[in-house]
Chains A and B, each alone.
Chain A
Amino acid sequence: MPAVRPSARTRVAAALGRSTARLARVVRPGGGSVIGARVTLALAPNALEELAAGRRIAVVSGTNGKSTTTAFLAAAGTAAGHEVVSNIEGANLRTGIVATLSQKRAADLAVLEIDELALPLLLPALPSPVITLLNLSRDQLDRFGEVRTIAASWRAALEARDDATVVANADDPLVVWGASGAADVTFVGVGLGWRLDAASCPNCGGRIVMADRQAVNADWWCDTCELRRPPCLELDGAELRDQAGVVVATIAPGVPGRHNVGNAALAVVAAMKLGIDVNVAAAAMADVSSVAGRYQRVRVGDTEVRLLLAKNPAGWAEMLTLTSGADVPLVLGINARIADGKDPSWLWDVEYERCRGRRVVAAGERASDLAVRLHYAEVPCDVWGGDVDALLRGLRTLDAPEVDLIANYTVFADLVRELRAR
């Protein structure tokens, strides 16, 4: 039970929000909680502060891997005996977090995924947070603007706090610079697959030099100012080592992909900062096999479909690596709604040439954009343009026993909702 009880105003507002959410879900299955939270916040503007008070707070932010890392950390918390509340469904703005905290008032540990732009705005409401910072890269270009602006806003928000504990990726110069605003930072070298956004120094505009562009944990430094790769725990294969080289934990999460080993390593260190036993944390993450539908296998017609989410070039690079081993058809789904970013030019930052020789389908509302990209990559494709119904129709008629589906945000969200509803 939280030590601090929210004010009567917030309790009533939260209750009204919850009933609005229930009502909204009747009208539109799957939705509702955000609408409910809007009601709560309109009645009690300080609801987030009051709902957060008295709980242990863990926060996860960054461009890619938020939901998975949040799921890892929540699993560790539960395994350690905490009552955990967490927003794993990706409702990661103020309303989503108020909705999450309203739903489970008794939880003593809140593990919160927070949008990287919203983080500086929400941090002041959260007491003594343990903050995990993953990576920053280009995402939703029309909406987010510059990634270095986000890093600067993190830095300023952390400089204003003396009670925050930060766990951050040592291999992302933007993250290192942003995290260095905090008084208490532990860096973990987990690598960075996507380096195009880390070429110039976030501190001074100088050039970031990489000792070895191919190496996972390569040293890096700015050629002009003091910014450089900080001393850190190192991920060496599956082994997480401290600065003396002693193995702290073996990292073997239940979801696939090298990037997820890195996410789990950061989550293990964050769990330790929360006072959770390192072995309990690592073991809990081995049991996480699917996160909000991601990595899940579902049957559509006669085909087993593996559901993979990729929201931006860095995410696509991870997923193309993950799927490169299997010789099953690839269905690639692209939308360009507000939540995806309205400009799909980033398709040209993805190395779709890697799909050559495979059977490929371009799907989604922006299938034509993807088809042009694949055309220039010399990857012949079928085109199933349109909404989730067109996608499901295509999957049902596909004559393949197995398929990997990689989709961006709203294609993925619509599909998971449809699959759950049936």
Chain B
Amino acid sequence: MRESAVRVCVVYPELLGTYGDGGNAVVLAQRLRWRDIDAELVSVAVDEVLPLDCDVYVLGGGEDAPQSLAALRLAEHGLARAVDAGAGVLAICAGLQVLGRTFTAADGSTVEGLGILDCTTRPKGSRMIGELVAEPTAFALPTLTGFENHGGITELGPEARPLGRVVTGNGNGVGGDEGVVQGRVIGTYLHGPALARNPALADLFLSWIVGDDLSPLDDTVIERLRTERLKAAR
């Protein structure tokens, strides 16, 4: 058992928190506390210095202009160094795009991402909105469920692999892929929030931090929601 609290960093919630994705950090912290492991939520505003010693970083979805600002600040503050040091990252939607090599800004210009994920995102021209279901391929996990709402098509390079195969919805919008995985960095288009609707994905992150012997939790209320949502998406 580790002695210090697990530190969960919520990155720029005012820029990357448009779709309730801040809930992912709440889920991670609670699933630790319910197992008697101390957890600390570290919320970092865009004008604050990003701490590079957190165990896991959570980035949410956001609008176009804030997304470009977030990319700029994250590069300045060196998120890549935290990743090199072994931190886990969950990046949702705009967060995923920011971590890639490039994405397209609202004015059509190409913006440099952080290059932590080997992927590029270009606009589709129309938004992809609705329930998203994917079968995980990168990890042995139950079916992934969430809600997607984005206009970007994300293409993977050779260093990244998809999180899963799309069953319902669009995901990355090309090749039937959903999400991007590279080391301990997971990008996905799942809102819902992703970890609220997929507790096993939350526990995957936690196992990277505190080890595989996570005690089981009573997820009855979450299983009821998963059953409902998977049925609704069919």
CB pair A368 B228 closer than 8 Å = yes
B197's nearest neighbour on chain A, judged by CB, is A372
CB neighbours (8 Å) of A372 from chain B are 196-197, 221-222, 225
**Are A345 and B19 neighbours in the complex by a CB distance under 8 Å?**
yes
Bound Cα distance from A142 to B191, whole angstroms: 11
- Is the CB of B22 closer than 8 A to any CB of chain A? yes
Contact partners of A373 in chain B: CB under 8 A: 23, 196
B225 touches A368 (CB 8 A): yes
User: Is the CB of B47 closer than 8 A to any CB of chain A?
Assistant: yes
Partner among B20, B66, B68, B224 whose Cβ is within 8 Å of the Cβ of A349: B20
Q: Could you tell me if A345 and B23 are in contact, using CB atoms closer than 8 angstroms?
A: yes
C-alpha spacing A148/B15, complex, angstroms: 13
Do A205 and B68 form a contact, CB below 8 Å, given A145-B127, A146-B63, A368-B224? yes
CB pair B69–A376 under 8 Å, yes or no, is no
CB distance from A99 to the nearest CB of B (A): 29
Q: Which of B26, B30, B64, B221 gathers the greatest number of chain A CB atoms within 10 Å? A: B221
A351-380 vs B, CB cutoff 8 Å, 1 = contact: the mask equals: 000000000000000001101110110100
> Which residues of chain B from 132 to 154 have a CB within 8 Å of any chain A CB?
147, 149
Q: How far is the CA of A378 from the CA of B30 in the complex (A)?
A: 9
Contact bitstring B34-63, A, C-beta under 8 A = 1, else 0: 000000000001110000000000000001
Assembled-state Cα–Cα distance A348/B147 (Å): 14
Q: In the assembled complex, how far is the CB of residue A353 from the closest CB belonging to chain B, in whole angstroms?
A: 9
Contact A142 B149 (CB under 8 A): yes
| Set B14, B26, B64: member contacting A196, Cβ < 8 A | B14
Shortest beta-carbon distance from A31 to chain B in Å: 26
Q: Are B191 and A343 in contact (CB under 8 A)?
A: yes
Determine chain A's interface SS by DSSP, over half rule: helix
> Is A196 a contact of B63 with CB atoms below 8 Å?
no
Residues of A within 8 A of B47 (CB): 207, 209
A369, B127: Cβ atoms closer than 8 Å: no
- B20 in contact with A348 (CB, 8 Å): yes
Beta-carbon contacts of B17-32 to A below 8 Å, as 1s and 0s? 1111111001100100
* CB-CB nearest in chain B for A353: B26
Given contacts A371-B225, A375-B221, contact A196 B147 (CB under 8 A): no
Q: Confirm or deny: B214 has a beta carbon within 8 angstroms of a beta carbon on chain A.
A: no
Within 8 A of B (CB), among A316-369: 342-343, 345-349, 368-369
Instruction: Note all chain B residues with C-beta closer than 8 A to A376.
Output: 23, 26-27, 30, 196
Contact A371 B20 (CB under 8 A): no
Partner of B191, one of A138, A205, A345, A368: A345
Which of A207, A345, A375 has the most B CB atoms < 10 Å from its CB?
A345
Known: A343-B147, A371-B225. A199 touches B15 (CB 8 A): yes
Interface string of B196-215 (1 = CB under 8 A from A): 11000000000000000000
B contact residues around A138 at 8 Å (CB) = 18
Q: Please name all residues of chain B whose beta carbon is closer than 8 Å to the beta carbon of A369 when the two chains form the complex.
A: 225
B5 at the interface (CB under 8 A from A): no
Residue numbers in B under 8 Å from A199 (CB-CB): 14-15, 45-46, 66
> Contacts A146-B64, A342-B130 given: A141-B149 contact, CB under 8 Å?
yes
Task: Choose one: A200, A345, A375; the contact of B192 (CB below 8 Å).
Answer: A345
B-contact bits for A204-219, CB 8 A (1 contact / 0 none): 0101010000000000
Q: Counting CB contacts under 8 A, is B85 at the interface? A: no
Q: Is B100 part of the binding interface, using a Cβ–Cβ cutoff of 8 Å?
A: no
A200 adjacent to B66 (CB under 8 Å): yes
Q: What CA separation (Å) do A50 and B223 show in the bound complex?
A: 56
| A375 and B222 within 8 A (CB) | yes
Residue contact A347 to B20, C-beta cutoff 8 Å = yes
Distance to closest chain A CB from B120 (angstroms):
22
Residues A148 and B63 in contact in the complex (CB < 8 Å), given A199-B46, A205-B68, A372-B196: yes
Closest CB of chain B to A206's CB: distance in Å? 8
Cross-chain contact B147 with A342 (CB below 8 angstroms) = yes
- Cβ A345 vs Cβ B147 within 8 A: yes
A391 → chain B closest CB, angstroms? 17
Please give me the residue from chain B that is nearest to A371 by CB atom.
B221
**What residues of chain A lie closer than 8 Å to B193, measured between beta carbons?**
345, 348
Cβ-based interface call for B13 (8 A): yes
Bound CA span A209–B197, Å: 35
Is B129 an interface residue, CB under 8 A from the partner?
Answer: yes
B68 touches A368 (CB 8 A): no
- Give chain B nearest CB distance to A377 CB in angstroms: 8
The CA-CA distance from A63 to B127 in the complex, in Å, is 22
Interface centre among A348, A349, A378 (most CB of B within 10 A): A348
Closest-by-CB residue of B relative to A345 is B20
| A343 vs B19: C-alpha distance when bound (angstroms) | 9
Question: Across the interface, which residues of A come within 8 angstroms of B21, CB to CB?
Answer: 345, 348
Contacts of B22 in A (CB 8 A): 348-349
22 interchain pairs (CB within 8 A)? A142-B129, A147-B63, A148-B65, A199-B14, A199-B46, A205-B66, A207-B47, A342-B129, A342-B147, A343-B149, A343-B191, A345-B193, A346-B20, A347-B23, A348-B21, A348-B196, A349-B22, A368-B224, A368-B225, A375-B222, A376-B23, A376-B30
The 6 closest A-B pairs by CB, nearest first: A348-B23, A199-B14, A345-B20, A348-B20, A205-B65, A368-B225
* Additional pairs, 20, CB under 8 Å, beyond known A138-B18, A141-B18: A199-B45, A199-B66, A200-B66, A205-B66, A205-B69, A209-B47, A342-B147, A343-B129, A345-B21, A345-B23, A345-B192, A347-B20, A348-B26, A348-B193, A368-B224, A371-B221, A371-B224, A371-B225, A372-B197, A376-B27
